Amino acid sequence: MLEFLSTNLLWWHWIAFGLILLILEIFSGTFLMLGLGVSAIVVGVVDVLFPMTLEMQLSIWLILSVVTIAWWFKYMQENATDKTGQSNYTLDTQGTVTKTIKPNSRGEVKFDLPVLGNTTWVATSKEELHIKSRVKIIEVKGQLIEVATIN
């Protein structure tokens, strides 16, 4: 079998194999076959310029495949962020006052984005805030959120 492949496997077979892998990648969306396909195309182009043995072609394809897949997982893959706990809000989260907040007293704010899973929170402020005032989070103190007007 290896003897048959080494005599009949041509450079364009590698390019066709790479294109097939790239087409399969379109339907899978994993980016795994992208590295394999690009590596096969590179081997085909290198084989045109510098004829090689089958073992050398397979070795280059294997090495390039591992390098491109490792590169993908290291640098190109999006870092998944955990949306549990207090990680799904920022101090820039804005909202609207739904119950008047007097200085150092409690009121209620409805935020545009969920804060710790809820959009409506009991909030405090160092200034008086009237209903429909736009505010942003200054600090989260346990179950209480301190807000201030947006400048």
Calculate mean pLDDT across residues 57-68: 94
Pairing of strands 94-99, 144-149: unpaired
- Whole-model pTM: value is 0.51
**86 φ, ψ to 5°?**
-95, 20
Q: Where does CATH 2.40.50.140 sit in the chain?
A: 94-149
Q: According to the model, what pLDDT value does residue 2 have? A: 65
| Residues ≥6 apart with Cβ < 8 Å to 98 | 107, 108, 109, 110, 120, 131
Q: Which of 141, 69, 76, 77 is nearest to 104 (CA)?
A: 141
Tell me the pLDDT band of 125, cut-offs 50, 70 and 90.
Answer: very high
CATH of domain 94-149: 2.40.50.140
Q: Which pLDDT belongs to residue 90?
A: 66
Q: What pLDDT score does 85 carry?
A: 47
